Structure 1
Amino acid sequence: MLRPCLDVPRWCNEVAAARPFTTPGELLSFAELAAPDFTQAEIDAALAHHPRIGDRAAGTGTEASFSRSEQASVSGLDGIQDRLQAGNRAYEDRFGRVFLIRAAGRTAEEILAVLEERLQNTDAEELPVIAAQLRDIAILRLEGLLNA
């Protein structure tokens, strides 16, 4: 249940080991604080499962389904789509990894603005931002599973 939310084994193990939770809120609160400092290797491994912003996730698994739903606001917007693709390439050239953002609840224009802003970060500034985005996505996905 946890891996499609965030494929960081240390995080999954910490959350699973803390069971049982008495309420969904308790689970979400614990999950938000588990494994507080993701390593660069954990971040890179988790990012391997995330498609580029604007790309449709392949596959039929839970993680792909989550991703397609989360990125619904950025599909089919041709003018923005081209700019997002160019921004994705610039980000990958700059940082050597896919650009990750919690897309759910954001417009394509907001995502593009954040992408352009984050391109100005140093490597040291960007890693904690990615970790925070991974955590935000994990919590949203866990909420989705709990409400299903």
Structure 2
Amino acid sequence: MHAVNLNRFNSAPADDLRPLLADCLSVPRWVDTVLTERPYASREAFIESAGALAADLTADEIHAAMAGHPRIGERRTGDRFSSAEQSGVDASLADRLRTANERYEQRFGHIYLVFASGRSGEELLAILQSRLDNDPSAELRVVNAELAKITILRLRKLVTDE
């Protein structure tokens, strides 16, 4: 991913930024809104605005955004972010995570999505197990909040102050 400074972000053609933003959150309405709200007065104003928009997705948008994320413990080649974000997941947890992911997917009909950065594999597994008790609508709200956290982390890597 190519980081851009805020001045460049504010002035770049939308078509140049669209794929970079889609790498952060693959929701076309979100990308378009982030672009139309330019210029941003500061990096923090940008992060705050884009993060708030990411925290308010429709159910269809949440499902579409999840399609771009690998399962916890799964690596995808060519994924710009997930390998680093899931660095706390090691091979010793592979079978337990695979089994827990399957239970979660059977329960909710979608992958388990969590803000993984800085968390151990054991912690991610414990969070998954605790979320199995959620009802589907509550879990979708949790997923949306986790997507927003992931998006903010990615945006902080994308747009710099300098």
Instruction: Structure 2 unaligned segments of length 5 or more: list them.
Output: 1-19
Match among 112, 116, 130 for residue 117 of structure 1: 130
Match among 82, 91, 98 for residue 111 of structure 2: 98
Match among 60, 68, 79 for residue 41 of structure 1: 60
Indicate conservation of the 8 Å contact 1:14/1:35, yes or no: no
The aligned runs of 1:1-148 (5 Å cut-off) are 1-34=20-53, 36-59=55-78, 64-76=79-91, 78=92, 80-147=93-160
The alpha-carbon deviation at position 36 of structure 1 amounts to: 4.9
Q: 1:35 to 1:114 in 2, by over 3 A?
A: closer
Q: TM-score, normalised by structure 2?
A: 0.83
Instruction: Structure 1 unaligned segments of length 5 or more: list them.
Output: none
Indicate conservation of the 8 Å contact 2:66/2:111, yes or no: yes
Q: Which has the larger displacement, 47-56 or 7-16?
A: 7-16
The alpha-carbon deviation at position 10 of structure 1 amounts to: 1.3
Question: Aligned equivalents of 1:117 and 1:48: distance in 2?
Answer: 23
Q: Which has the higher contact order (CA 8 A, sep 6+)?
A: 2
The number of residue pairs the alignment matches comes to 142
Aligned-partner residue type, residue 96 of structure 1: G
Q: TM-score, normalised by structure 1?
A: 0.90
Question: Aligned equivalents of 2:159 and 2:88: distance in 1?
Answer: 23
Residues 83-119 of structure 1: CA deviation (Å, up to 9, x unaligned): 1111100001111111000100111111111000001
Cα RMSD of the aligned pairs, angstroms, is 1.5
> Rg larger in 1 or in 2?
2
